[in-house]
Amino acid sequence: YVYNFAFAFTISLTATVLGSQLAFLLARWAGRPLVERLAPVNLLDKWYDMSAQKGMLFFMFSFMLPIFPSDVMNYVAGLSALSPRRFFIANLLGRLPGVVLMTAIGAYGFQLSLGVWIGIAVATIIMFIAWRKLFGGRS
C-alpha cells in the first residue's frame, strides 16, 4: 500500500469534499442553464423539490446513502438557497462514513473483521431507517 490509513483518509476526504464544493460553487455561479447540460432535468427537479423542504439534512443523508447521484446533488445544492457554509457541513459529515469505509477497504482489503462488517451493516441500516423517517422514504 502506498499510504497508511490516516494519510489516505485525509487525502480522500479532502479531495472528495473539495470537488463537491467546487461543483456546488460552479452551479451557484453558472446557474440552471449550465447545470441542465450536466444533469438530467427530471433528476434536478425531483431532488430540488425534496431538498427545498429539508435543506442541509437532505444533502447530508444523500451523501451518506449510496443510492443518490452525488454529482447531481452537488449541482442541486448549488441551485438551492443553502449557504456554502451549510453545504460544506452537510458535505463533510455526509461523506465521512463512505470515505472511512472505502479507505479501510483500500488499506486493509477485505480482511476487516466480522465485527467491523457487522458494524458497517448496522450503520447502513440505521441510515436508511433515519432517511425513511425524515423524508418519508421518497427517493
Per-residue pLDDT of the chain (139 residues; tens, 9 = 90+): 577 888 999 999 999 999 999 999 999 999 999 999 988 898 888 888 888 888 888 899 889 887 788 888 999 999 999 999 999 999 999 999 889 888 888 877 778 788 878 887 888 788 778 777 776 654 4
How far apart are alpha carbons 54 and 112 in whole angstroms? 35
Element at 51 (helix H, strand E): helix 41-54
| Structural domain harbouring 62 | 5-135
On whether the CB atoms of residues 39 and 72 are closer than 8 A, the answer is: yes
- Total domain count for the chain? 1
